[in-house]
Structure 1
Amino acid sequence: MVVFVFMKLARPTVRLFSTSTAIQESERVTKRSVSIDSIKKLHAHLIRNDLHKEPSSISEVVRSYALSPPYLDKARLVFYQIKRPTFLVWNHMIRGLSQSDQPSEAIRMYIRMYHQGLSGNNLTFIFVFKACGRVPDIVRGQMVHVHALKLGFQSYLFVSNALIHMYASCRDLDLAQKVFDRMEDRDIVSWNSLMCGFAQHSSFNDVLRVFEAMQSANVKADSVTMVKVILACTYLGEFGIADAVVKYIEEHHVGIDVYLGNTMIDMYGRRGLVNLARQVFDRMPERNIVSWNAMTDGLGSGFSFRRSCFSDEQQLEKALECCQLILKACISFRVCGQMANIVVKLTKDSCLVCPKKKQGGIGMEAESYNSVYYPPVKMDWPCF
């Protein structure tokens, strides 16, 4: 056991800009947050004044279109009209594509830039590594990694963090660890990226190992760290460590956001500690459907059937979204007597599914669950 010491292109009815001040106005617009409508007007103005092919003038238009998914194709059209795109314009396009539903296009855009004799800068590599991780494409990821090494960009903290995330997303956790180990400087994102990679691929012992090293290095954890550590403890059954982590959260005033709250509720629910799960649930400033499902599932698993029937206000807020799990929590002759016909059937079938789940046989669980026959049953809902 690991022991831790916690220390509309706009209608041109009105000319918005004069020809003589076109470039100045485009620069002024660039310096503030502008809406797509404003960008459309700026774009129309640049076209009227034949400035849409100048990278310094059109850069903000490309950026805004590229970072707005509905306008990504329009960003391409604008980009391909530019005479000689600068690093900044290339980066806008690569960034937009890297976070779109077609991240492989970001990699192709980078390769095209590279073949035109432009090597990119640190931001370029961050966006490309993100795209490689999302595809995932470790072959091209390693190719771009070599480019970054040759140019000396791997020494940049954010580039190394993006590399760790890329290799972890591509399931090469050994390379992710090597990049991490060779970093001269690390921040909380570095540690979290490595832990997230291990957690994503169910290497939960490694999550705890990295967290122990993080504590030894006196790095203060945040809510992202806590989510991964509690998740690892839950799956490994290391509830003593989980309790120590909760104590750390309280002592170091780590904010409990919706993700951390959901993870804590799930952890307590699996242990049958319904009161503690409910305390976390009640303290959460924000909840989502996962919060309600985890709480209801925990109540059902802990045999607190009556308490699963929340107050009227809570029912109104999430009853429809949670009805499937509320049904599970309400399987009790005492609370839902009218449902006796379905109770016997569900209870018997649950005995078939749950042991296989505890053994880790997820595929077997799904097979058993799908093979269960549920006859049509006419039911009343006494809980509502």
Structure 2
Amino acid sequence: MCSLDVGRGVQAYAVKRGFMVDRFVLSSLIHMYASCGDVAAARLLSNAVEEKGVVMWNAIITGYFKNGDWKEVVEMFKGMLEVGAPFDEVTLVSVTTACGRIGDADLGDWIGGYVEEKGMVGNRNLVTALVDMYAKCGELGKAWRLFDRMQSRDVVAWSAIISGYTQADQCREALALFSEMQVAEVEPNDVTMVSVLSACAVLGVLETGKWVHSYIKWKRLPLTVVLGTALVDFYAKCGCIDSAVEAFESMPVKNSWTWTALIKGMASNGRGREALKLFSSMHEANIEPTDVTFIGVLLACSHGCLVEEGRRHFDSMIQDYGIQPRIEHYGCIVDLLGRAGLIDEAYQFIRTMLIEPNTVIWRALLSSCTVYKNAEIGE
């Protein structure tokens, strides 16, 4: 447990007693501040040390890492390389993971070459971080080659490669890897299950997803926000709205993405009124909607031909939440007006759009012209 007040008291005592010249004391204080999230204080202390050892560098990098400051981790490591600062395998694990988060494939590739050159391929944590990094950067070939060479693969390694294939929309391959994982008798965790559920949702593989849900219950895996949201999204995309609602209600904690997954699912499955009612409940729960939430809301209005509500929510998105419309939001409004037979208004709306309309926008309007036999605008 972190206690910055106690830590600051220790630092004050160290200053008073003249202990700040001791490198071990300095490193411990830096590590304390970094671990407690006060990276600025940790960095300030480290700047006072001319020759930093690898422990001190790792303390700072760990601080940025724990705070999710991936870019700072990468930039600091690049600065370390420029001045020839020492680093070790612990440093590389943090930096490699950060490269994956921000998509810095160049530095990640350099680390991969360094690991090969220095004979570090036996470090499972480091190789797993490389697999994860390559997968997140879209370098699935490199990720697979590293994974295939691993002599010992734990659940983290399996989850990294499965997640990579899922994120690259190679969902059949992801599920095939999950089957191999089961054959290897490696127990999946919640991270694995999120990727598998996402793959099932894309492919519409209902029975496999149901098995995953049963496994989650059987193993009593904690229904985290991420796992619960993946479950809601899976059922919604497979058209099982009642199951999606059940999963939603069983979650102890929900975030905006959880609410959005169910709202979009209801809207896509012809339950627009329920989607809008859920959006009202989201507002009452003080959950801030995202731009994706409004896509679901506008989709619900479109499918229900709720023109005035659609207009109101579109204006609210801009005026009340400061969300600038994307092409998907414009597309929902064009579709809404077109379904309601307001072809002229839909055409004028397109002409006033702040971004260039794409083929999807024009196709939606043309489809409405066909339905309502408006040859003039159709031409």
| TM-score (norm. length: structure 2) | 0.71
Aligned position for 2:322: none
Is 2:133 the partner of 1:166? yes
Distance of 1:216 and 1:237 partners within structure 2: 23
Structure 1 regions of 5+ residues with no counterpart?
Answer: 1-32, 352-362, 374-384
The residue correspondences of 1:147-226 to structure 2 (distance < 5 A) are 147-226=114-193
The residue correspondences of 1:1-384 to structure 2 (distance < 5 A) are 33-67=1-35, 71-82=38-49, 84-98=51-65, 99-100=68-69, 101-111=71-81, 115=84, 118=86, 120-308=87-275, 309=277, 316-317=284-285, 321=289, 324=294, 325-326=296-297, 328-329=299-300, 346-347=335-336, 349=338, 368-369=360-361
1:244–1:103: structure 2 CA closer, same or farther, 3 Å change rule? same
Relative to its length, the structure with more helix (as a share) is 2
Q: Is the 8 A contact 1:107 1:131 kept in 2?
A: no
Q: Which moved more, 1:211-220 or 1:303-312?
A: 303-312
RMSD (Å) for aligned C-alpha atoms: 3.8
Q: Which moved more, 1:215-224 or 1:317-326?
A: 317-326
Aligned position for 1:4: none
Q: Is the 8 A contact 1:164 1:176 kept in 2?
A: yes
Distance of 2:242 and 2:175 partners within structure 1: 26
Q: Which digits, 9 at most, give the CA deviation of each residue in 1:282-326, with x for residues without a partner? A: 211221112222222222222234444359977622587488445
| TM-score (norm. length: structure 1) | 0.70
Distance of 2:98 and 2:311 partners within structure 1: 52
1:64–1:202: structure 2 CA closer, same or farther, 3 Å change rule? farther
Structure 2 regions of 5+ residues with no counterpart?
Answer: 313-331, 341-354, 366-379
Distance of 2:189 and 2:168 partners within structure 1: 21
Give 1:107's aligned amino acid.
Answer: F
Q: Which moved more, 1:229-238 or 1:181-190?
A: 229-238
Residue-pair matches, total: 325
Q: Is the 8 A contact 2:263 2:279 kept in 1?
A: no
Q: Which moved more, 1:236-245 or 1:124-133?
A: 236-245
Q: Which moved more, 1:337-346 or 1:94-103?
A: 337-346
- Percent identity reads 24
Q: CA deviation at 1:183?
A: 1.3
Q: Is the 8 A contact 1:53 1:83 kept in 2?
A: no
Distance of 1:312 and 1:170 partners within structure 2: 38
Distance of 2:311 and 2:48 partners within structure 1: 69
Give 2:336's aligned amino acid.
Answer: T
Distance of 1:183 and 1:330 partners within structure 2: 51
Give 1:103's aligned amino acid.
Answer: V
